Structure 1
Amino acid sequence: MNNLQLPQKNMEKERAALESFIKSDRTVRELKRAVAVRMAIEGKLYHGISKIWRVSKFFIGYWKKQFKTKGIAGIKLGHKGSKGYLTSLHKTEVMEWLKNKEYWDFDELVTYLEREFGVSYKSKQSYYALLSLAKITWKKTQKINPKSNPKLVKKKRKEINKILAKNKVGIESGEIIVFFLDECHLLHGDINGYAWGRSDLRIEVPITNQKNRQTYFGARSLSNQTIPCSRL
């Protein structure tokens, strides 16, 4: 057998071992690890695996390395002899790790605790408690327009105020009517999902091409007269 055939043969053995493990009665977390590792070994991009299974690239790389080093035993739960608890000092270290991250991923936290402290909780609530202690919550993202220009908005507001001041007499007499126009969208905000984030900060997602099925416009005058909405 030439050297070019060896990597292919090894990959087939690894795939066979992973397939057998996946088909056996495993926990969801073990299955997620095994499937992610199998896809990585098959040459799938980490970005694609991450999107399909909603795991971090760190998660994929770490468990692939564990599998390569220890085989199937490396991706089983509690293979390090999990203690099932964290000491006060360990909790302090976990808090620092969480607070210094820019993005948070549940599976990455699970992997981090197993790797660094040999701790694997049976209940997800224990992990949620750690995230809550670090003031990280599960909340809806907020869309922002990256093309927005606060300076231009401020300039426009000043222009409007000048026009209103200039026509104050006509507005107060009713000769000039000023309307405030606004819009609302059906299914507005439905493209925003949920993510882990600091409880004191908004999670903003840049969106420039949001589409809405229907848009309704309405107007109100300075005299509080409501104008019926029109559909666009």
Structure 2
Amino acid sequence: MFKKSLNPNQIDELNDFIKQRFDSRELKRALVVKLSEENYLYEEIQKIVGVSLGFITKWKQAFLSSGIKALRLGYQEGIPFLNPEQKSTVINWLKSKAHWNLRELRALYKSQFSNRI
């Protein structure tokens, strides 16, 4: 699926990351990238690591775009969609409702944060 190869520094960084992992989720992410780089078929990786094809694609793409940091737990690329004040506004609005309605939330969003839609 991916033809882009890793450079030697990326391979070394990936190997070091794998050696230092104690959390199985991070280890699986790193292993799928490494096995992919070693020309294992995605179907083989799926069986070896016990993950879905989508998992392999997701973490390979994440590694290629953001490097080793993307494989760490809790990593979030980019800036949040809402700043803390906007997030607080939405949460307070949701708390004030007995039932949530997506149309109403969208209307709130458009009226409060119209520059982002």
For the aligned pair, the TM-score class normalised by the smaller chain equals 0.5 to 0.7
Q: Per residue, is there more helix in 1 or in 2?
A: 2
C-alpha RMSD over aligned residues: 2.3
- CA 1:25–1:47: 2 relative to 1, 3 Å: closer
Cα deviation for residue 56 of structure 1 reads 0.6
Percent identity at matched positions?
37
1:54 to 45, 50, 74: 50
TM-score, with length taken from structure 1: 0.30
Q: Which has the higher strand share?
A: 1
Alignment partner of 1:13 out of 9, 34, 43: 9
Q: Contact 1:11/1:41 (CA < 8 Å) preserved in 2?
A: no
How far the C-alpha of 1:80 sits from its partner, in A, is 1.2
Q: Which residue of 2 aligns with 1:73?
A: 69
Paired amino acid for 2:55: F
Gaps spanning 5+ residues in structure 2: where?
78-90, 95-117
Alignment counterpart, residue 41 of structure 1, candidates 4, 24, 37: 37
Contact preservation (8 Å) 2:21, 2:27: no
Match of 2:108 in 1: none
Q: After TM superposition, where is structure 1 displaced by more than 3 Å over at least 4 residues in a row?
A: none
Of the candidates 51, 60, 63, which is equivalent to residue 59 of structure 2?
A: 63
Matches within 5 A, 1:1-232: 10-80=6-76
Q: CA deviation at 1:42?
A: 1.6
Question: Once the 2 structures are TM-superposed, how far is the Cα of residue 71 of structure 1 from its aligned partner?
Answer: 0.3
Choose 1 or 2 for highest CA Rg. 1
Counterpart residue type for residue 15 of structure 2: E
Unaligned runs of 5+ in 1: 1-6, 82-86, 89-232
1:30 deviates by 0.1
Number of matched pairs: 76
Residue deviations 1:79-132 (CA, integer Å, cap 9, x gap): 118xxxxx99xxxxxxxxxxxxxxxxxxxxxxxxxxxxxxxxxxxxxxxxxxxx
Alpha-carbon offset, residue 12 of structure 1: 2.5
Between 55-64 and 72-81, report the one with greater CA deviation: 72-81
